[in-house]
């Protein structure tokens, strides 16, 4: 029964998350709230790992969420659930586009989907920013260590021209050192 629900939850996510992987985040937060399969904190970890691994963020996150929920078979179920609507929709759109190629209304619908995708990605970004920068500690509203780290990295990556051509290994080492410093 868990596999059917896992498939349906991610099928629904895949059906309505128009705009790419980050557009799935509001749906994943909703799944977290409704099912309790994973926490918002675990979801932030999933996003970080999904962004750092090869492949689409949405599929990586679904795979990870399915794995946390029900192991390897859960990972497969969630991934298949997420991609199935896309495959179905693509096949339907292909059939209609062949029949209505160049139709003003069809092109208008596609044009109208752009702002919806932008809004969903913005909502996901704001949720991630809230989790990252707002401190769960009641003594302090802002997580100052995270805010200072973001400012340091912003200055380092944008204000200093020499850093723009650094080798990726240097960035990894620098990020690790900064992360260790700010952890303590």
Tell me if residue 134 falls in helix, strand or coil: strand
pLDDT tens digits, one per residue of 86-134: 899 889 988 877 887 778 887 788 778 878 888 888 888 888 777 777 7
pLDDT tens digits, one per residue of 15-67: 888 777 778 888 888 898 899 898 888 888 888 888 877 778 888 888 988 99
Minimal CA–CA distance to 28: which of 76, 72, 69?
69
Encoding tokens for residue 113?
């989907």
Which neighbouring-strand residues pair with 142?
134
- Sign of the CA dihedral running 33, 57, 2, 84: positive
CB 46, CB 62: distance < 8 Å: no
- Sign of the CA dihedral running 79, 84, 89, 91: positive
């Amino acid at each position: 029964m868990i596999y059917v629900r896992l498939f349906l939850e991610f099928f629904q996510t895949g059906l309505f998350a128009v705009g790419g992987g980050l557009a799935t985040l509001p749906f994943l937060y909703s799944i977290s709230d409704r099912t309790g399969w994973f926490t918002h904190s675990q979801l932030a970890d999933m996003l970080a790992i999904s962004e750092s691994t090869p492949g689409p963020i949405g599929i990586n996150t679904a795979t990870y969420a399915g794995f946390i929920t029900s192991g390897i078979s859960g990972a497969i179920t969630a991934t298949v659930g997420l991609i199935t609507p896309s495959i179905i929709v693509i096949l339907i759109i292909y059939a209609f586009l062949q029949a209505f190629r160049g139709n003003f209304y069809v092109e208008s619908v596609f044009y109208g989907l752009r702002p919806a995708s932008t809004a969903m990605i913005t909502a996901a970004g704001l949720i991630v920013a809230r989790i990252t920068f707002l401190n769960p500690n009641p003594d302090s509203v802002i997580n100052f260590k995270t805010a200072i780290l973001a400012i340091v990295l912003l200055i380092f990556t944008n204000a200093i021209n020499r850093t723009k051509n650094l080798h990726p290994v240097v960035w990894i080492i620098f990020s690790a050192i900064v992360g260790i410093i700010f952890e303590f």
